[in-house]
Structure 1
Amino acid sequence: MLFMTSISIQDGSVELQQMRYVVAVAETNSFTRAAERCLVVQSALSHQIARLERELGARLFDRTSRRVRLTPAGAAFLPTARQCLEAAERAAAEVAAAVGEVRGRLAVGLISTAAAVDIPGALRDFRQRYPQVRISLRVSPSEELIERVEQGAIDVAFCGLPTAAWPRGVDARELARDRYVAVVAPDHPLAEEPVVDLRRLSSEVFVDLPANTAGRAQSDQAFAAAGLSRDVAFEVTTAYLIARLVGHGLGVAVLPAAYAPQLTGVTTIEVSDAPARVEYVIWSRAGRTPAATAFLTLVGVPGL
């Protein structure tokens, strides 16, 4: 008898392919899209899931003409299915590494203002060197990246935190320290100023990242420490959108100085009492896959 969370299987076995099908349906909320992702006909995918449900003695999905959703049994089965698939991928990658090959997957995460490493260039070089590794990329706030690395969903991530913070629950290396600059439209009254301070900026309307994100916290903490309040009228999820809104004169922003050269259509100004951040590269404390180790080596992470 094999136990999986609250589900038991008697006189049967669960195949990895069946687990892949369950995960695909759960993530797409569709048998049709799941079949397309898994490169099989829908009838074959449906047959395998129905077979698995018979072996488990429980339905994994509620199906209607409009939607597909996990049952309580399916929600219990899904985390273990993901863990089994990840373990199988890791095992295959370790075997390949033992004979001198790097294969498997490399899931990379980054914040939109990452600047310490040329990540697109590094991914290009990595793919050329290790063509058998499947690469994926996710852009998310730092706190989400840290959580997903800790859970094993992302292998390597590049995040930024205030100088007093540290990525908890993961292994990390500091890559760079950076100060923020003000970002304004080219025709803004401040655009000709060589330097400003937070008090002068606090009278402006701001464009910033969403509240309760690490990127937003760095600027919020700096203004609060100076005894200042500000009006954040526009909250967006990427630095690209921040720059677009600033360029159209809808507000001002503060962004990392190392990232500022990538911006177009805006003017940057030194801030005398600017907040600072630290960029980190992080990976799971549970260990690195061969692909993750190869990628970290390629980008020159110190102290591996």
Structure 2
Amino acid sequence: MELQQLRYVVAVAETRNFTRAAERCRVVQSALSHQIAALERELGARLFERTSRRVRLTSAGEAFLPAARECLEAADRARAEVAAATGEIRGRLAIGAIPTVAAVDLPLALKDYSRRHPRVHITLTSAGSAELIEGVKRSTVDVAFLGLPPRAAPKDVQSLRLGGGELVAVVAPDHPRTEDEVDLQSLADEPFIDFRAGAAGRVQSDLAFAAVGVQRHVPFEVSTADFMVDLVRQGLGVGMLPAAYALRLSDVRRIRLRNAPARVEHMIWDNRPTPAAAAFVDLIRAAQTGTSPGGSVDQD
């Protein structure tokens, strides 16, 4: 059994197509098919069911795939560890972030990191805090940036508290309210545009309204801040976003809240970070403290 055979199996499983898998692996399809067939003979079981229309994993393939991925990840990590021992950071770095991250300038950090470590392949995914926490736990995300209510904290991962801030109300430019600052209670009769129920961003707002003893109506539930802002601009309701993030927005009006909801941003990473992830954490920590990158990534 060879690592290249495992790569071919993973590629076919993910693309569900031998031709696309061969293109991804940069080999001719006949070579890929031959290697997978050889592996199936060695294992004594077919990994894929092939028809003229589709390719899918057999039960044996379903059992084999997680172990194949683990082997490839272990091999990649071994290469990265050896390279790090000789002073070079390489490998892959999967970053996840909430859309409204504001405690760090993430594009600038990624640019700086890429300049320092050009041999690291970086990917970025935008998702909700709960999804990102699970991604780090499953090792599909190396480092993630979250926004949580002040009393919440990430569990079973390494973390660094980046900072906190209050939320503000955002309304359309022609909204009839003229105040620069209001109480939450005065907004209770307004239609709201917010994240889906249960999302960390939604929980912050729900807790704040519950604390002042009022209920609000949320007819519009969205999954992204951009969509929320688009609906706000059309005058369909009031949104609530972190103040630092709201400052970036155009064509909306910001209203401060006297009893505002708050959130805290965290950076989280795996308990055994890869050299690439450790270097990125070190870079962000240095930016937060105003020091030069270098040192360990202990849990706070």
| TM-score scaled by length of structure 2 | 0.91
Name 2:273's counterpart in structure 1: 288
The unaligned stretches of length 5 or more in structure 2 are 290-295
| TM-score scaled by length of structure 1 | 0.90
What is the letter of the counterpart of residue 247 of structure 1? R
Distance in 1 between the 2:198 and 2:55 partners? 32
Distance in 2 between the 1:265 and 1:175 partners? 29
Whether 2:172 is the aligned partner of 1:148: answer no
What is the letter of the counterpart of residue 181 of structure 2? V
Alignment of 1:257-296 (within 5 A): 257-285=243-271, 287-296=272-281
Name 1:69's counterpart in structure 2: 56
Structure 2 counterpart of 1:105, from 92, 104, 126: 92
What is the letter of the counterpart of residue 290 of structure 1? P
Query: Identity over the aligned pairs, expressed in percent?
Result: 62
Distance in 1 between the 2:91 and 2:68 partners? 18
Name 2:292's counterpart in structure 1: none
Whether 2:217 is the aligned partner of 1:215: answer no
Counterparts in 2 of 1:95 and 1:275: CA distance versus 1, 3 Å: same
Structure 2 counterpart of 1:166, from 141, 150, 153: 153
Whether 2:226 is the aligned partner of 1:226: answer no
Name 1:9's counterpart in structure 2: none
Q: CA deviation at 1:180?
A: 0.6
Name 1:131's counterpart in structure 2: 118
- Calculate the aligned-residue CA RMSD, in Å: 1.6
Counterparts in 2 of 1:61 and 1:205: CA distance versus 1, 3 Å: farther
Whether 2:76 is the aligned partner of 1:82: answer no
Distance in 1 between the 2:251 and 2:105 partners? 22
8 Å contact from structure 2 (residues 180, 254) kept in 1: no
Counterparts in 2 of 1:65 and 1:252: CA distance versus 1, 3 Å: farther
Distance in 2 between the 1:19 and 1:66 partners? 23
Q: CA deviation at 1:266?
A: 1.0
What is the letter of the counterpart of residue 201 of structure 2? G
Distance in 2 between the 1:265 and 1:71 partners? 53
Distance in 2 between the 1:251 and 1:42 partners? 54
Alpha-carbon displacement from aligned partner over 1:181-224 (angstroms, at most 9, x marks no partner): 0011111112x211122222221222122222212211122223
The unaligned stretches of length 5 or more in structure 1 are 1-13
Alignment of 1:238-257 (within 5 A): 238-257=224-243
Number of matched pairs: 289
Alignment of 1:7-86 (within 5 A): 14-86=1-73
8 Å contact from structure 2 (residues 95, 125) kept in 1: yes
Distance in 2 between the 1:262 and 1:63 partners? 51
Distance in 2 between the 1:227 and 1:25 partners? 55
Counterparts in 2 of 1:60 and 1:185: CA distance versus 1, 3 Å: same
What is the letter of the counterpart of residue 253 of structure 2? T
SS of the aligned residue for 1:232 comes to strand
Distance in 1 between the 2:52 and 2:238 partners? 48
Q: CA deviation at 1:234?
A: 2.0
Counterparts in 2 of 1:253 and 1:19: CA distance versus 1, 3 Å: same
Distance in 1 between the 2:170 and 2:270 partners? 35
Q: CA deviation at 1:145?
A: 0.7
Whether 2:282 is the aligned partner of 1:297: answer yes
Distance in 2 between the 1:71 and 1:229 partners? 51
What is the letter of the counterpart of residue 196 of structure 2? P
Distance in 2 between the 1:216 and 1:236 partners? 10
SS of the aligned residue for 1:262 comes to coil
